[in-house]
Amino acid sequence: MPEGGKIDSKQAIFLMVSMVLPTTFLFVTSAIAHLARQDGWISILLATLTALLIAWLVANLSRRFPGKTLFQFPEVILGRWPGKVVALLYIWWYIQVSSEVLREFGSFMVSAFMPDTPLIVFELLIMAIAAYTVRNGLEVFTRINQIVLPLILGSFVILIFLATPEMNLKRLLPVFIENGAAPVIKGAVMPAAWIGNIVTMAVLIPYLNKAKEAYKIAVSATLITSSFLISTFIADISIFGPEVSAGWFFSALNGIRMIHLANFLERMEPIAMTIWIAGGLVKISVFYWVTVLGSAQWLELKDYKPLVLPVGVILLALSIMAHDSIMDLLTFLGTIVIFQDLIIFQVGIPLLLLVVAIIRGQVGTGIEEKEGGKQG
């Protein structure tokens, strides 16, 4: 097997949180508020429900094929060539996701902090580190994440606490009546596509030391992520109100910029930058690792290390070439990507695979047995 690492359940939860939260928190409010206005937190709740369904789907599917990842079990379900095609689609999708994440990372640094620096500088630097991390394997960046994520979540709580003097919770009123259901549902699509990346569990499950807990892990990670997203949303809306929030690119950054206490506790946005870089590194590493691992499994290689650099170059080039501006990135992420992500890759294909597997009666040998065998 290309990847030999094993991680425990807590590490897996941390990893799945880092895969979504550290970058999405920055623009969650503006992305949702322009559709669902002050009711966006309901949208996030809906998105959470969707993600829980996806998690169930994936956990159910993986349980039937222990030891096999998302890039391997389609072959068992659909037969060799159709399965290969599905796996290839997933590889293509992960290449796209990784390069978009990379582009988001660079775009934020350039537009908010260092306008004169070329985008490629940030992307190249983070990719160099990510390549090194991925080369070292799953266990390594999981452990990095174990250090990074508690710091991120801690500073998160502190920042929200410090911004409370600026908040007016009345800005969240009136609830629901004004906008009705349609905008709330529209607003739920984007966060659903973000949290829905929990589908990546299908790649991670074979590397858990307790694969039985897969669903529990996915659920905890989803709940942690969405509770932080909801707090960010409520904080931003109660600072800026829905109209102004919808206008920002990075609403949480503007929220953090508002912090000024006792005339010295102010200008806290370097913390936002730190969260972004540290969390962004883990996030990019996860998707990068999945892409590389998937490619190696698709090609049936013994080791994925030879693929790290070539795939990295592809990701880097794609992220630079895909968009000409941050506006283009935003409209792309807000329209095509979310439907493609959600409908095809997070719900559609897994559902199809599950249905076929059930029809063909592929129950799987059961993880318990395998674990028992391993010990014996």
Partner 1 sequence: MKKLLACLFLLVIMTVVISGCWSRKEMSELAIVLGAGVDRAPDDQVRLTLQLAKPGAFTAGGEGGGGKETPTWVVSETGKTVLDAQRKLAGRISRHIYWAHDVILVFGEEAARHGVLRYTNYFYRTPQSRETMWIMVAKGEAKDILETHSQLEKSSAQDIGYLARAKTGYSVNFKNFIVMLSTRGANPIASRVDIVERGITQGPEQEKPTIHKGAALTGTAVFRKDKLVGWLDESETRGLLWLRGEVLKGVITTPSLAEPDKEISMDVIRGSTEVQPQYDGESVWFNVKIVVEGDLLEQQSGEEILDREVREALEKEIAREIEEKTRLALEKAQREYGVDIFDFGEAFHRKYPKDWLELKDRWDEVFAGAGVDFTVEAHIRYSGLQSRRTALEE
- By CB under 8 A, name the one of 88, 244, 301, 330 that touches partner 1: 244
Residues 177-196 interacting with partner 1 (rule: CB under 8 A): 177-178
Smaller CB separation from partner 1, 3 or 236 = 236
For residues 365 and 68, give the distance between their C-alpha atoms in angstroms, rounded to a whole number.
12
Structure tokens at 213: 């807990």
> Closest separation between CB of residue 126 and partner 1, Å?
13
114 binds partner 1 per the rule CB under 8 A: yes
Structure tokens at 63: 């349980």
Smaller CB separation from partner 1, 258 or 271 = 258
Cα distances from 361 to residues 6, 66, 72, 244, 354, in angstroms, run 29, 15, 18, 54, 10
- By CB under 8 A, name the one of 63, 186, 257, 370 that touches partner 1: 257
- For 118, the 3-state DSSP assignment is coil
Number of residues that bind partner 1 (CB under 8 A): 28
> Closest separation between CB of residue 102 and partner 1, Å?
19
266 binds partner 1 per the rule CB under 8 A: yes
Exposed / middle / buried, residue 148 (Cβ in 10 Å: 0-12, 13-18, 19+): buried
Amino acid at 14: F
361 binds partner 1 per the rule CB under 8 A: no
- For 115, the 3-state DSSP assignment is coil
112 binds partner 1 per the rule CB under 8 A: yes
111 binds partner 1 per the rule CB under 8 A: yes
- By CB under 8 A, name the one of 82, 170, 181, 299 that touches partner 1: 170
116 binds partner 1 per the rule CB under 8 A: yes
Per CB under 8 A, which region of 46-54, 68-76, 110-118, 321-329 contacts partner 1?
110-118
For residues 31 and 267, give the distance between their C-alpha atoms in angstroms, rounded to a whole number.
24
DSSP string, 230-257: HHHHHHHHHHHHHHHHHH-SSHHHHHHH
> Closest separation between CB of residue 143 and partner 1, Å?
24
- By CB under 8 A, name the one of 24, 50, 72, 254 that touches partner 1: 254
- Per DSSP, helices labelled H in the chain are 9-36, 40-64, 73-78, 80-108, 119-136, 138-163, 181-195, 201-204, 214-247, 251-257, 269-298, 305-321, 326-332, 338-339, 349-359, 367-375
> Closest separation between CB of residue 100 and partner 1, Å?
22
Smaller CB separation from partner 1, 179 or 295 = 179
Spatial contact of 288 and 312, defined as CB atoms under 8 Å apart: yes
> Closest separation between CB of residue 327 and partner 1, Å?
13
241 binds partner 1 per the rule CB under 8 A: yes
Residues contributing to the site for partner 1 (CB under 8 A): 111-118, 121, 125, 166, 170, 173-174, 177-178, 239-241, 243-244, 247, 254, 257-258, 260, 266-267
